[in-house]
Chain A
Amino acid sequence: MLRLQPFELVQPESIGEVLQLLSTHAEHVRIISGGTDLVPNLKLGSIKGDVLVSLQRVDELKNLKEADTQLVIGAGVSLHTIATSKLVQGTVPVLADAVGKIASPQIRNMGTLGGNLCLDTRCRYINQSEFIRSSFGGCLKSDGDRCHVVPGGSLCVAALSSDSVPVLIALGADVDIIGPEGERTIPVEELYTKDGVAHIALSSDEVVVRARVPIPAAQTRITYRKWAVRKSIDFPLVSVAVRIDHIKGSPDILEDGRVVVGVLGPQPKILRLSSLQGQPINEEMAHKVAGIVSRRCTPLANVPYSEDYRKLRLAVEVKRAIRSLFI
């Protein structure tokens, strides 16, 4: 078994305490929520953590409720709860579906929304033991000076691999963040940077508190598609959320739409379909959108499986996604 390096675990019970702990412990302090991403990475030594501040006893983060036209999900709500909650299934079924596709039942019991939003990026050269990484000299994301995916590149392009993020962006969700200076709210897409080494746009003393998910109106249809080798446990190798809004009263005509693609680089890619406004939502549109996505998205050799196939697969998934949204 790989050994876990020793660390100190602190278990505060309020957000205030969390913030205080984050600011007092300087070096290698980390938030741990379900730990399903953090712990494997600590074992691999791809990240360091001397002090882990656990969110598990912070009840404020575990709220899940409907407020006006929004679904408000605390960062500490478990993936299992989101996937199986009648409230989520009834108001934003696509989110329950996407979250239900994460990992495995055991991991969904432990994993949380906050952790899924802040999930580390993935790459075949970083999701390796220290020994394997040392055999090729590491890379930009760990004790090395080059990128093996984009030789000569100066930014890490490891892949955003969260199953919930594309859907949340397609839904137009926001996240509330709290830090020493108070709370701020940003759209989910603004949580991510271009650099796979530090792809979460938070400072080390900030915490994601909740996501605010607008409950889709009647003319909005959204679906999520994920491709992975196995039917359970695997991270996505291709992931895409597709949203279509039709013109009120004309369910066959596009008003607006967007496609959000994951597992490219550190950031999700958002393609807006406003140029297709007024066009019929049909097979032709499915092909058109697949073509647009294919032209604008370039899977990289960061995660396993060939880039060429993933590109092809992405187009097929987009096409099928749109087909599944015809009425």
Chain B
Amino acid sequence: METIKVQDVAVNDLPWRIEYHAERCTRCGSCVASCSFNAIEVVVQRQSMTVSEQNQPSPVRRQLALAIIKQKKDLAYMCRGCGMCERVCPNNAIRPVRNPDDRKALLSRDNGPIKRGGRTNLNAQRTLDSIIVGRISQMTDPALDSVRHTFDIRAPFGRVLSPRELPLTVSGDKLEMAHRTPPVRWIYPLIFSDMSIGALSTRAWEAVALATAYLNEKCNLPVRMSSGEGGMPVKLLESEYLKYFIIQIASGHFGWNRIIKAMPHMVTDPGGILIKIGQGAKPGDGGLLPEAKVAEHVQAIRGVPKATLSSPPNHQGLYSIEESVQKMHLSLNAAFGFRVPVAVKCAASATSVAVYHNLLRDPYKICGGFFIDGIQGGTGAAAEVSLDHTGHPVVSKIRDCYLSAVRQGLQGQIPLYGGGGIGLTGNAAADAFKMICLGANGVFCGKVLIQLLGCIGNEKGRCNACNTGKCPTGICTQDPRLVKRLDVDRGAQKIVDYVLAFDKELRKLMAPIGNSSLPVGRSDALVSTDKAVADKLGIQYVC
């Protein structure tokens, strides 16, 4: 009997197993070439066969040496289930199959915590799916016609003053503005959320940027895209298109050197500034760009050498919310002459309401938006323990913040944007609509965009290899051979088409509840089939 070393990793320890049909395989080698994770290899296998080729039985035993495709028994080269081999195989001879008995979580901590990208795989529950748009306008209060009527689908981005604070003076029968008010931009209620160049391949980032510009210029939808930490190409900073972008500043301040240098050459103001304090996928954890992904152009944009780039978990020097307001908000507001709204993004947390209160009460009135990022948000790289075990769902958090503003009569003054799992099941319009009814002014999404570009990762452990630099779809890697797999134009077109459908679907939801402008806070339009959800959110329970 052969000796078995049970500590050795076996194929049946891995999360995905390769189902290979040697009899269909023509040995073209395409699968091996396409596997960016090096998870499969060509090996020569000895086979013995007994054949009989005469009229009478005359069995002969033959030894054959056959080339076959075999999965590697190595955690470093484990199959990610991305399915590229299956896509490329002309004969349906190979495909990955999920292994229900995998032991990866146990075995792969030899070099410290498990790292990966994607979303939480543990807390992907869908509160929004137990909520239905249940108040339908009929009879005396007729529904609108989603095609015939006009809809005003815009959300504020910027600090809104309370009516009594407005610098309006009466002159005759007209009101006049005595002085200007904080900048507010009315934008499309779907923001393309911050994914940096670095986390994404430049080409993938470009595809999203291209879609943004197209939606603005050709479709009249003022969609804004957040740059993500790490800056933007100088050419874009100095172009007219800058107005469609929200520039992000995160705790590493990466890229700001170049942004500041570009400022005198800017021909227009950016769409906004987003101070990133935290991220829903890995709250309390800084940004992480593994060395493998710090390619030359990333080094150039960020102004860094080739090394793993870790942003600290917090902005150094900010000890309190007041300070954050004074230092960061004020200086960023001042940098653009108080013409550009400055918003802040935090990970959803048990303390979000307190943070929102402080922002609402800030005497300078310079926080132009509160972005709450829930646990179901995606990331390019994080420790799995953070992804799966830290964070806070965003749905009830948006509701809590909205209602706490209502209690003080301050709703709408700092626009609320919710993200983290918007479009998790592909239905971003329904998710957005429900979030808006619960009190959000708009939503932001990221993962769904790269999924439109071609990312095949999901919340059931498929791929999630964004941290490796080996993204099989060319989205999350700087490897030029992999990036070639991404067709930028077709990717951008996919995003544009999706947003156009999103817009139509929003109308389809606004029409039956009889609203031509966004139903922010219209919780009466929602019902839930889950009693606990209904009670928590203060909406009707139905069954």
Q: Is B one of A's binding partners?
A: no
